Structure 1
């Protein structure tokens, strides 16, 4: 596999889950792309529908040649069939051309010759059960195709994707309709965890350090993040738009993500728990992580506020994935540094057992961090990719439960306790024998 392909695979594995309005607007200006993804895959039920409104259409072609609007339009396809698009374009087969659709991979909704000549606008509403034979639900993507060579197109499009459930329209796709309940449940669990941790810190008294109070703030922001997600998805379900809850999500996510990496780095360096200072090397690491998190949060806002139809949307998606990769790698370095420093100290200060017992904690913490990153970035991605669209909510639930488990395990490992009483500082019997021999040897 080529290095570029490996990089793209790595980026995909670290893709975060973002909420976006299902009633979306996009503006395309002088765009020469042959294929534009207008709306990401959406899970439709038996009564799934879509509404498309196109305005301000303009086709530009060099010279005096008049463009053919019949070669421009919208079509839908399944995510599995998207792989054929690149091949068909390379072979000069237009997805809008029925003769090019050999295997019924694409369904043309309408072409631009349907636009009103006077006002250059068109509105179409589609009921998928009427378009597709024996349609019982499925996941579909909406694309725009420009098969007119050497041309650019300008237009504004408004898209509404929804399912009719009973007497109301539900703008959440099948598979995501469980997310409001999941995130609200996680809010209750994280809030309970925050209360228990706060009580433990208060009870710890002089054995509670600054890092413990910082962890309280982290859990609080995590609780507010999942709460804002719950209300955001609930509002999208009713109105098709986040109605301001996305702003709260941006703020709490920014604070939570920044605090998360900072707390992990500080725990890994033993700050406030084993030493009251931060070394210059650790300060430089923090100065790298903080700007990276700022960039990641800008990317989240951009991806959430714009549709894939925007030319720079995929660029910001790659930036977000790359930042996530870098931050996840950086947090492992301080743990390795701490382990190395403790091993070096055991060989020089003569306190072999007292120093090396701390390695048990940091070795376990290292394993915990690696497992957490592996599960939430790779396993969750595999779940999102392999689960049927009806059960995609299981990936979000697994990610949140893994985060809760990681928070609990980290809290237990670094909870306020009198010196020498922490069970995670104790050695196994085999390690104790080896260390005893090391002390006895001259």
Structure 2
């Protein structure tokens, strides 16, 4: 393997292994690799405790050279290994010093087995390996043979053993060490949203004369969010105890799709003033909805594909890039209607003689704009930073921070636009008019 090729490959692997792995993958995998010539294939990443185990079973193994002029590939150059993040720099240094470097020969990786260990008759292998040094490891298949393509059926299990009590055999925990708390975490937040739903319905009933259509959409959003978290909790629970989601991942994706679409739609509708200020949408506002909703469909399809396949597929990087770009595009698109509404209110305040009312609306929309931008920034950047820098045993912290930020965002927005008979959004005393006019002249509410 050439040095430049290995360097670029390992740089890419470092990004894939430690940044982009999705969080809804089952820890028992059954894969079919067909005529694959990639020098490295990332199978999975997992956080192990001192009771961790890796079980690998391969069958129907075949490999051949793509170049007839080359000798048959050596079986010792094809195999599986574990790599920790800390060992990545040492691997890069070794590759720089040796142009013919093969990662399977490095003492910085944990070699599991090579094709040299396969059964001669069935070309299969089945073995379990204990983890002696607790850490977060990525499982790779390495192909150091030049111009060689490999086919095989692969089944992997990664788990930690939890003590069940005196005299009781330990129980397998298929969730990584930093995610084993997620089932309880998601269930706890689902209860919080169900309580939130009850309170919101009571507020709407008590102020039914002030309820608008947007408030009914908000009821649906809270309900879908609660169901989404319940499915996430069940999904993680079944992965934790069995290694597979048992169909809960499908329900999770369905409610995730509905929730995200509803959330972005409500943000756009509130940002345009629909149902509060006007009963209709302008053409440019309709176009935003027509752009955001299809983009969310694409984003959720990409998310489902990533969750159901995994990093071993050849187009996995492309799907991640598509998902990231679409998500950024949606986040940018929903900001425009809020800016348009602020500018429209500023222009209206100069001509309609209702300075106090317009000042209140401007203040509310500016607060809404700041909160939306802060929420998007936190969930896309701060949560990502937490997930990247946190130790593998504390990966649940980023999930908790994301859910806490989402709950705080929902509470704040719902409180701002709650249905009440007397609200600064609708009613302003006449005696406030003079002060408001002065405030509008002094403050242009520049974004």
The TM-score with structure 1 as length reference comes to 0.89
1:409 aligns to what? 412
Task: List gaps (5 residues or longer) in structure 2.
Answer: 1-14, 164-169, 443-447
- Is the aligned partner of 1:25 residue 2:30? yes
- Is the aligned partner of 1:153 residue 2:161? no
Aligned length: 418
2:352 aligns to what? 349
1:74 aligns to what? 80
Counterparts of 2:441 and 2:255 in 1: how far apart (Å)? 52
The 3 A distance-change label for structure 1 pair 84 and 363 is farther
2:100 aligns to what? 92
The TM-score with structure 2 as length reference comes to 0.88
Counterparts of 2:116 and 2:271 in 1: how far apart (Å)? 62
- Is the aligned partner of 1:57 residue 2:65? no
Counterparts of 1:364 and 1:13 in 2: how far apart (Å)? 36
The root-mean-square deviation of aligned C-alpha atoms, in Å, is 2.7
- Find the residue that maps to 2:353 and give its secondary structure: coil
Shift of 1:274: 1.1
- Find the residue that maps to 2:139 and give its secondary structure: strand
Shift of 1:322: 1.4
Is the CA contact 1:11–1:318 (under 8 Å) kept in the aligned structure 2? no
- Find the residue that maps to 1:348 and give its secondary structure: coil
Instruction: Return the match for 2:264 from 261, 269, 272.
Output: 261
Counterparts of 2:32 and 2:139 in 1: how far apart (Å)? 15
Deviation by residue 1:225-250 (Cα, 9 ceiling, x = unmatched) = 11001111110011000011101101
Counterparts of 1:259 and 1:16 in 2: how far apart (Å)? 26
| 1:19-418 → structure 2 map (5 Å cutoff) | 19-40=24-45, 42-61=46-65, 62-63=67-68, 65-82=71-88, 91-97=99-105, 101=106, 104-129=107-132, 135=133, 137-166=134-163, 167-418=170-421
Counterparts of 2:184 and 2:90 in 1: how far apart (Å)? 37
- Find the residue that maps to 1:108 and give its secondary structure: strand
Counterparts of 1:298 and 1:249 in 2: how far apart (Å)? 13
Shift of 1:424: 11
The 3 A distance-change label for structure 1 pair 203 and 84 is farther
